[in-house]
Amino acid sequence: MIGVLALLQRVRQAQVLIEARVVADIGVGLVCLVCAEQGDSEQQADRLLDKILKLRIFADEAGKMNRSVQNLDGHGSAGSLLIVSQFTLAADTTGGNRPSFTNAAPPHEGRRLYEHLVQRARQAHSNIQTGEFGANMQLHLINDGPVTIPLRIVP
């Protein structure tokens, strides 16, 4: 199935390391693992970002999931976004025990859509950190809840 994919994790803190070097570090917010599939578009990436920014998965004063990452405290205080490319979200495991990644966008197209998403995120939100496209990264996080939300934006 074609569709920009994301897996969101609500976190208290998170870091991305590459070769033991911290390249991204956030406090309260969302880790966004994202993957483009073959045929995905910038419009789908834009819709994904809109959903990520507006998704109400943070607690309000009554403890209900009523706040978005853009408005964590009800007074406009924004949380952080850590956006990490992860083509393995496109894994197809229906044909056996070894996943196939043929649904993932080719690397050049995946990079283009990832960079588009990051650029738009930086225009729309104040605290954006990223991993490095195509790098072998280690992600350290303290999940909050845990709250983990899968998203797929289809044409």
Q: Known catalytic residue: 87?
A: yes
Closest CA to 82 of 36, 134, 125, 38: 125
**What's the mean pLDDT in 38-59?**
95
Q: Residue 28 gets which letter from DSSP?
A: S
Classify residue 36: in a domain, yes or no. yes
Q: Is residue 152 part of a domain?
A: no
Catalytic residue flag (residue 88)? yes
Of 88, 119, 138, 148, which one is the catalytic site residue?
A: 88
Q: Which of 9, 86, 129, 130 is catalytic?
A: 86
Mean pLDDT of the chain: 94
| The predicted structure's pLDDT at residue 69 | 96
- 104-136, pLDDT tens digit by residue? 999 999 999 999 999 999 999 999 999 999 999
pLDDT, tens digit, 9 for 90 and up, residues 18-37: 999 999 999 999 999 999 99
So what's the pLDDT on residue 73?
A: 75
* Domain extent at residue 94: 4-146
**What percent of the chain clears pLDDT 70, i.e. is strictly above it?**
97
- Domain containing 49 — which CATH number? 3.50.80.10
